[in-house]
Amino acid sequence: MRTSIATVSLSGSLTEKLTAAARAGFDGVEIFENDLLASPLTPEEIRERCADLGLSIDLYQPMRDMEAVPEDVFARNLRRAEHKFRLMRRLGTDTVLVCSSVSPQSVDDDALAADQLRRLAELADGHGIRVAYEALAWGRHVNTYDHAWRIVEAADHPALGTCLDSFHILARGSHPKGIEDIPGDKIFFLQLADAPLLDMDVLRWSRHYRCFPGQGDLDVAGLLRHVLAAGYRGPLSLEIFNDVFRQAEAGPAAVDARRSLLALQEAVGEGDLPAPVVPTGVAFAELVTPDVAPAAALLGALGFTRTGRHRGKPVDLWEQGAARVLLNTGPAARREGTVLAAVGLESPDPAAAARRAEALLAPVLPRRRGTGDVLLDAVAAPDGTELFFCATDRPELPSWIRDFEPTGQLPADTDITGVDHLQLTQPWHQFDEAALFHRSVLGLEPEPSVDVADPYGLLRSRAVATSDGAVRIALGAGPGPGDDQDRAQHIALATSDVVAAARRFRDAGGELLPMPGNYYDDLAARFEFAPGELETYQELGILYDRDAHGTFRHCYTRTVGRVFFELAQRDAGYRGYGAQNAPVRLAAQHGPH
Amino acid sequence: MRTSIATVSLSGSLTEKLTAAARAGFDGVEIFENDLLASPLTPEEIRERCADLGLSIDLYQPMRDMEAVPEDVFARNLRRAEHKFRLMRRLGTDTVLVCSSVSPQSVDDDALAADQLRRLAELADGHGIRVAYEALAWGRHVNTYDHAWRIVEAADHPALGTCLDSFHILARGSHPKGIEDIPGDKIFFLQLADAPLLDMDVLRWSRHYRCFPGQGDLDVAGLLRHVLAAGYRGPLSLEIFNDVFRQAEAGPAAVDARRSLLALQEAVGEGDLPAPVVPTGVAFAELVTPDVAPAAALLGALGFTRTGRHRGKPVDLWEQGAARVLLNTGPAARREGTVLAAVGLESPDPAAAARRAEALLAPVLPRRRGTGDVLLDAVAAPDGTELFFCATDRPELPSWIRDFEPTGQLPADTDITGVDHLQLTQPWHQFDEAALFHRSVLGLEPEPSVDVADPYGLLRSRAVATSDGAVRIALGAGPGPGDDQDRAQHIALATSDVVAAARRFRDAGGELLPMPGNYYDDLAARFEFAPGELETYQELGILYDRDAHGTFRHCYTRTVGRVFFELAQRDAGYRGYGAQNAPVRLAAQHGPH
């Protein structure tokens, strides 16, 4: 199926938008009138630019408040339309969008609307142009897709059809089943947009909060099935008004956009994506650091043992239970202090996982990191984290661990069993993209986004996880653009005994993040504890949460560079991440004052 | 009247919030429970800190879902309450807020609610504490102030009263007149918040979009009149949940908050602010520049004449019609290129204007800039712009122009008549503050905020003006925090003939910002013009707009440093600022690509 994107969905000049759309692999564009008006390129130059980029111009949107108006107003509208049809010929596009009128001058008269749209279509036809009439969800008299279709049907002109827009249809709660009653060749165009479910006026919702399919709560795939069943064979076109996308770089946003359509096509049984390969665990987390001592000291105090040294590079392997941390002091580490740079995901079929990631437009990283190394399939996540698809000590597959020369030390047997979750900071502009990426590329299921109050702004956090919890990643974003650069990320280690783990860490010289006494006083007011229990928690900075399933006890190390560790005891099926406690933890991390 | 602010309204640690509130002159605070929980200070230390800062603790908010619940749940609630009452004694506060229950466990039974609240009040009374019961707008069974009052009345306990919150009352559209039926001494507390009118679910509206009184659309003053008429004599307390304030610096936000209460008190006939002194014109705009040549060349090409040189400082006066520009090359100019740093406002009574500004917490600038200079009353606007209250050649007052030694050159007689408007870029966090500042301090009336699409994000713009248009300022803000530093500001010169002015500028070597041909093609589709008219506009980059009153024709110079000029012909009562054309202008300023 052909894919298209409206220029309003991307930021920048028209040239930047077109270039980004072409690079992301779109087949065509809708040109939003304001982008053309502001461009120094003539229509002929725009046409040529699109041709050079391999883009068709699938739609132009210059018309407003066209139909069901008094005759003198309509005469002026036709005059304007004639201008725009001539412009469209110069652009080389043959479909014009006409949205249902919002003008106070328009009247509730379907026969008049049909008559005027027929006359508009006649004029268009003379220029070789087709008119696609669409019901805006806030149209004054016409605001449902079936109403718009009835008018198109009544007008009965070959150059007049309807345009369907998933947002306008689903936002009003219209049932899309009726779309199948429209002849497919009278659906001239299909615009697709998703949106989070927000209870607000639909105009504001549409203008500011639309997002790419799969990033919101609307059943865009369900709607698309009905449109395809009706026989529509035109492009799938994204038309997204979103305040964040307007600020985001056009290049990554266009890739994100196309990924959303690839996933959408898969959801309706179209396209040819390789099947998902869901990871079965976290093979390793990789820290890069220009200064190995503090990171190594932290790992040592946490109970990790340095079990291996990479045969070709300055990378150490540290192990404890099923938790593995790589400590990389190579050249990449020179730039930005200690950071969580890569994650190894245990994969049932690493090569197939990488093929799917690549098909979903994830940037593929070089497979071989050094001579003699095991081949590692890796891609970059939207936040820049390198994701490796690995096998660890599985007979049928080469194990990445073979690249490490054993030190002869064996990991201690402790209560640390593995990685509970990883927390990765996302660029503010890419929070929604990140969830879609992890869902479509890795098969992780997103949970709802939650707001977390930091003393200096509201953060957002959204967990993505496998259904069995073997891989859990908390995606976080700060209150505004730009502040992801200095936000810490963290590795939460799963323990069967957080008190013992915290004590051992402290006794080994590790420093736990202290929590305020007022927090424990509140815990005492909210829950009942065994004698001495709260005192132990307070002594060690252990936080406590409970959900319908079980309990969560967790504490934090101090931050080294941009990384800290959490010790997490998840009991009896607790499902959360201690978000309730995050404001207290964040305040403690800002320091005592 | 005493003023108070809830700690949730300000950003930072509890200590930072308390310090900011005290410095801004608040008498007390409401302590939001999460701020206490996250603080490393003990309750006794918080009490002491507040005492040192001269702040009372007027309210504590730890209770949720207290009433109208099954007895076993209520028993747990009382246990929690007992904990919190002991904490409040340590804090030294005697009023606790209880919001109406949102719990699914609560039942619709006013008698049960009254009974349980009475028992809670009894418990509180034993600790010397009063309970203030408030209807949340989204309370499960109790969500109007009169309903909450009926329950309080039925419970009939001296330690139980009601808390009124302007947001909860006005957001639901309740009429506040009925407040006068509540005995003043049973209104234990009053929380004040404004909000823009947004059609969205009230919980989201309340949690993210509240603002200080006078910054939104609710009639907070009208409500306050009823509360005072009821006999309430407690503090006016601000409780603002706002995503932007959470990120803004606490110091300026607290000043903004207190200014809103000063203006609110004036609106209900309380307080003792000096009367407003509305400016009658723009006396001058001052550019500071480290590099005088480009700015002087621009002024010269625009038709300005250098008519004076400051007697003591490197500042030149340039004049044309009633438009005056100061060009300052002094030490302040070394830092950040050419900027619009100060505005002189022609004032009927400069000293009185300054007294009002100072009373409204505007930072007062040193009055005398050099020995022998005329005294100039000046304050800093929230964006850092220096505002001078001036008299220009008025016999009864010293004229600031006397500080300038005439060059002997006289200004040319041109079609430039004065300053049409100034556009000042606001820090993103202070957009609402800026409008309140200009309204309360300067008596300018704000118009609605409009969104303007820049290629790289949605900008906001809000005009403030005198009713006669003698002073017009367009306040602008970028799409995100931090980008105000590199956004240009501009001076729009009023002309009676924009075509002549633009030609003269170009003939004098000035460079006009070219506008795209597509824009003129669209003008031709939308309006009818005399033969050759559009060609002239296109040749000169003149933009065109029309409203119900008249027409607006305007064009732009290239930007020097962070400043550019506009030539603006406002005909037949046109009231806008050409916002319709702003996206085209902004794209042109980003450069041809």
- Can you tell me the ipTM of this complex? 0.92
* B90 interfaces chain A, CB cutoff of 8 Å: no
Q: State the angle between helix axes of B533-540 and B498-507 in degrees (0 to 180), rounded to the nearest 10.
A: 40
Is residue B409 within 8 Å of residue B315, measured between CB atoms? no
The distance of A201 to chain B (nearest Cα, Å) reads: 5
| Chain-centre distance for alpha carbon B537 | 37
On chain B, the residues whose CB falls within 8 A of the CB of A516 are: 37-41
pLDDT reading at A592 higher than 80:
no
Closest chain A residue by Cα to residue B81: A525
d(CA B348, CA A358): 70
Q: Does B51 touch chain A (CB under 8 A)?
A: no
Nearest to B583 by CA among A371, A39, A75, A462: A39
pLDDT in the model for residue B95: 98
Strand B445-446 and strand B457-465: the pairing is antiparallel
- 436-465 in A: which are within 8 Å (CB) of B? 453, 455-458
pLDDT digits (tens, 9 = 90+) for A347-375: 999 999 999 999 999 999 986 665 567 77
User: How far A377 CA sits from the closest chain B CA (Å)?
Assistant: 35
Across A568-582, B202-216, B363-377, least confident range:
B363-377
Bridge partners of A325, per DSSP, are A285, A318
Task: Say whether pLDDT at B492 is over 80.
Answer: yes
Residues of chain B with pLDDT > 70: what percent? Answer: 97
Residues B568-587, mean pLDDT to the nearest whole number: 95
Interface contact B583-A34, CB threshold 8 A: yes
State the pLDDT at residue B453: 92
Chain B residues 557-576 with CB within 8 Å of chain A: none
Instruction: Give the chain B residue whose CA is nearest to the CA of A39.
Output: B516
> How much of chain A is helix, strand and coil, in % rounded to 5?
35, 25, 35
Q: State the pLDDT at residue B491.
A: 98
Predicted confidence (pLDDT) at residue B429 exceeds the cutoff of 90: no
Instruction: Tell me the three state secondary structure of residue B384.
Output: coil
Nearest CA-CA partner of B336 in B489, B146, B223, B143: B489
State how far the Cα of A390 lies from the Cα of A407, in Å rounded to an integer.
22
Cα B293 from Cα B295, distance rounded (Å):
6
CB distance A587–B39 less than 8 Å? yes
pLDDT at B7 over 70: yes
Q: Mean pLDDT of all residues in chain A? A: 94
Radius of gyration of chain B (CA): 28
**pLDDT tens digit sequence for B93-105:** 999 999 999 999 9
Contact A556, A537 (CB under 8 A): no
Place of tokens 């709660």: A173
Evaluate whether A205 touches A245 at the Cβ level (below 8 Å): no
Backbone torsions φ then ψ of B458, nearest 5 degrees: -90, 120
CA distance A561 to A134: 54
Encoding tokens for residue B299? 């002024």
Query: Any idea of the CA torsion for B468, B319, B586, B345, to the nearest 10 degrees?
Result: -40
Least confident of A190-194, A586-590, B375-379, B502-506: B375-379
**Which residue from B151, B191, B176, B174 is spatially nearest to B230, judged by alpha carbons?**
B176
pLDDT at A514 over 70: yes
Question: Of B281, B427, B44, B91, which is closest to residue A480 (Cα–Cα)?
Answer: B427
Sign, CA dihedral A378-A428-A18-A163, equals: positive
* pLDDT confidence bin for B337, thresholds 50/70/90: confident
Q: What is the pLDDT of residues A539-567, one digit of tens each?
A: 999 999 999 999 999 999 999 999 999 99
pLDDT digits (tens, 9 = 90+) for A298-314: 999 999 999 999 998 99
Contact criterion met (CB below 8 Å) for A191 and B189: no
| C-alpha closest to that of B521 among B584, B587, B586 | B584
Q: pLDDT value at position B593?
A: 64
Q: What is the mean pLDDT of residues B352-368?
A: 91
Chain A, 474-533: which have a CB under 8 Å from a chain B CB?
Answer: 479-482, 514, 516-519, 521-522, 524-526
Show the tokens assigned to B352. Answer: 């009185």
C-alpha distances in angstroms, A173 versus A142, A194, B169? 15, 13, 30
Is residue A334 packed enough to be buried (19+ CB in 10 Å), middle (13-18) or exposed (0-12)?
Answer: exposed
pLDDT of the residue at B371: 57
Are the C-beta atoms of B426 and B248 separated by less than 8 Å? no
Task: Identify the burial level of A126 via C-beta atoms within 10 angstroms of its C-beta, where 0-12 means exposed, 13-18 middle and 19 or more buried.
Answer: exposed
Q: Which residues of chain B lie closer than 8 angstroms to A590, CB-CB? A: 13
Nearest to B190 by CA among B205, B202, B176: B176
Residue with tokens 């027929």: A118
pLDDT for B162: 98
Please determine, for residue A335, whether its predicted confidence score (pLDDT) is greater than 70.
Answer: no
Average pLDDT, chain B: 94
Which residue among A12, A84, A453 places its CB closest to the CB of B34?
A453
Residue in A40, A83, A592 nearest the CB of B524: A83
Question: Is residue B535 within 8 angstroms of chain A, CB to CB?
Answer: no
The pair phi, psi for residue A118, each rounded to 5°, is -65, -45
Q: What is the dihedral of CA B401, B406, B409, B414, to 10 degrees?
A: 0
Per the DSSP assignment, residues forming a β-bridge with B476 are B425, B461
Query: Is residue A45 within 8 Å of residue A68, measured between CB atoms?
Result: no
- Chain A residue numbers with beta carbons less than 8 Å from the beta carbon of B209 are none
Model pLDDT for residues A376-432, shown as the tens digit of each residue: 899 999 999 999 999 999 999 889 999 999 999 999 999 999 999 999 999 888 899
Beta strands in A122-207 (DSSP E): 130-134, 160-165, 187-192
Of A183-192, B256-265, B369-378, B548-557, the poorest mean pLDDT is in B369-378
Task: Name every residue whose Cβ is closer than 8 Å to that of residue A537 and which is 6 or more positions away in sequence.
Answer: A520, A523, A543, A544, A553
pLDDT for the residue B436: 96
Residue B358: which H helix or E strand, with range? helix B350-359
Residue B31 carries which side chain, given as an amino acid letter? I
Q: Is A104 at the interface with chain B, CB within 8 A?
A: no
Q: A interface mutation test: which of B17, B522, B546 has the most A CBs within 10 A? A: B522
Site from A456, A513, A527, A545 to mutate, B interface, most B CB atoms within 10 angstroms: A456
pLDDT band per the 50, 70, 90 thresholds, residue B220: very high
The residue type found at B110 is: D
Closest alpha carbon within chain A to B459: A243
For residue A293, give every residue at least 6 positions away whose Cβ sits within 8 Å of its Cβ, in sequence order, or none: none
Exposure string for B398-413, b = 16+ CB within 10 A, e = fewer: eebbebbeeeeeebee
Residue B49: CB atoms within 10 A of its CB come to 17
pLDDT at A269 over 80: yes
pLDDT of B335 above 70: no
Tens-place pLDDT, residues A124-139: 999 999 999 999 999 9
What pLDDT shows up at residue B372?
64
Angstrom distance (rounded) from CA A492 to CA A569: 10
Instruction: Say if residue B17's pLDDT is above 80.
Output: yes
For the stretch B134-184, pLDDT in tens is 999 999 999 999 999 999 999 999 999 999 999 999 999 999 999 999 999
The residue assigned the tokens 């219209």 is A174
Q: What is the pLDDT of residue B340?
A: 95
Q: Which residue has the tokens 């953060």?
A: A459
For residue A369, what pLDDT is reported? 61
B253-263 mean pLDDT = 97
Q: Which of A7, A35, A37 would best serve as a mutation to test chain B binding (most B beta carbons within 10 A)?
A: A37
Rounded Cα distance, A472 and A422, in Å: 7
pLDDT of A336 higher than 90: no
Q: How many CB atoms lie within 10 A of CB B237?
A: 26
Please compute the mean of the pLDDT values over residues B232-239 and round it to a whole number: 97
Residues forming a β-bridge with B61: B32
Which tokens in the block code for residue A343? 């994650």
- pLDDT, one tens digit per residue, over A139-168 is 999 999 999 999 999 999 999 999 999 999
Whether residue A525 and residue B83 make contact (CB cut-off 8 A), yes or no, is: yes
What is the per-residue pLDDT for A244? 86
Collect all residues of chain A within an 8 Å Cβ-Cβ radius of residue B525.
Answer: 79-80, 83-84
- Inter-residue contact B556 to B513 (CB < 8 Å): yes
* Residue B242, pLDDT above cutoff 70: yes
Which pLDDT score is estimated for B411? 95
What confidence score (pLDDT) does residue B547 get? 95
